[in-house]
Amino acid sequence: MSNINTILEGKNKGKKITGGTMLYANGWFSKNTISSYTVIDETNKDQYSFWKGALGVAVLGGWGAVVGIGGKNKKEYLIAIEWKDGEKSLILINDEYYKVFVKSMF
């Protein structure tokens, strides 16, 4: 998907995520700002299929549902975040940013 390293839905929708030792998109991603998060992947298939299909439709129209659920070459992580202020976001990040994200939660 072309929306890699982006906030897809919710708080700060459309903002690009940048990284280094921490991730940033109109605010820092850290244990001080995030209340909880859920990685939506093959282990929770119902949420994974729904979100990948829904995002595919949003980006590519009807064909997107098929493309969104299909395989991929690059490792991507779809993460639902609940911020400490009660708002929520859905982000899509690559493998490099995922490692930074997880480190910042400890």
Whole-model pTM: value is 0.70
d(CA 89, CA 15): 11
Residue 2 has pLDDT above 60, yes or no: yes
Average model confidence (pLDDT) across the chain? 80
pLDDT bin (cut points 50, 70, 90) of residue 106 is confident
pLDDT bin (cut points 50, 70, 90) of residue 8 is very high
**Could you tell me what percent of the chain has a pLDDT over 70?**
67
Backbone angles phi, psi at 43, to 5 degrees: -75, -25
Q: Which of 88, 64, 44, 81 is nearest to 1 (CA)?
A: 64
pLDDT digits (tens, 9 = 90+) for 14-31: 999 998 899 999 889 999
User: What pLDDT does 3 receive?
Assistant: 87
- The answer to whether 95 and 86 have CB atoms below 8 angstroms apart is no
Exposed/middle/buried for residue 10 (C-beta within 10 Å: 0-12, 13-18, 19+): middle
